[in-house]
């Protein structure tokens, strides 16, 4: 197994376990403001190498999502959000492409492209992932204000955790 595959497999397992064993049990906001969740598992899809085929992104996204669903008892909501995230990733990367284009041998990390680029890319991906997740969870746009409130509050807390993760672990691949 190549180093890149092993690194990403370990990241998959680590983020999955952190999400379902640690972050699932953290409840911020109390009973009256239950809109804040900490979500970091989409970081796996965000950090996959740039050369990862589109079909693999969607399949790996489904695998990550369905495993999170198994622990959260959400029956496909996380899986659908991860499939969506895997599907839109190439389009978001195209929006953030540097002038010279990407070196496809790299992963989209802050070390390779800079902190500003990474934060813009990761924030866009996380916001879209969370908005899709909470929309599917509500299953109607009747609750659009609640969907948006959950998306924004979860996004802010999750991006803070992702930023800490990126600063402490500083993944290269």
Q: What's the whole-number average pLDDT of the chain?
A: 91
Q: Which two tokens stand for residue 58?
A: 């969607």
Mean pLDDT, residues 156-169 taken together:
91
pTM equals: 0.92
Binned at pLDDT 50, 70 and 90, residue 114 comes out as: confident
Give me the DSSP letters along 135-153. HHHH-SGGGHHHHHHHHHH
Ranked by mean pLDDT, the top range of 82-86, 102-106, 144-148, 168-172 is 82-86
pLDDT in tens, 30-77: 666 677 889 999 999 999 999 999 999 999 999 999 999 999 998 899
φ, ψ at 104 (rounded to 5°): -70, -5
Residues 153, 68, 135: CA angle, nearest 5 degrees:
45
Give the pLDDT confidence score for residue 32 in this predicted structure. Answer: 62
Instruction: State the average pLDDT over residues 104-117.
Output: 86
Question: Which residues does 157 contact at the CB level (< 8 Å), separation at least 6?
Answer: 28, 36, 37, 38
Indicate the length of the chain as a whole number: 173
């Amino acid at each position: 197994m190549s180093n890149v595959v092993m690194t990403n497999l370990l990241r998959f397992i680590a983020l999955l376990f952190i999400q379902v064993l640690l972050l699932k049990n953290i409840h911020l906001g109390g009973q009256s403001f239950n809109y804040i969740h900490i979500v970091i598992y989409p970081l796996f899809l965000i950090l996959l190498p740039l050369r990862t085929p589109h079909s693999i992104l969607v399949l790996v996204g489904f695998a990550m999502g369905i495993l999170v669903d198994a622990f959260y008892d959400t029956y496909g909501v996380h899986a659908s959000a991860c499939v969506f995230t895997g599907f839109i990733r190439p389009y978001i990367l195209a929006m953030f492409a540097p002038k010279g284009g990407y070196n496809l041998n790299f992963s989209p990390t802050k070390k390779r492209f800079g902190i500003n680029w990474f934060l813009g890319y990761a924030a866009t991906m996380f916001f879209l992932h969370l908005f899709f997740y909470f929309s599917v969870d509500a299953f109607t746009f009747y609750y659009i204000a609640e969907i948006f409130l959950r998306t924004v509050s979860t996004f802010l807390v999750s991006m803070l955790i992702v930023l800490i993760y990126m600063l402490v672990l500083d993944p290269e691949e």
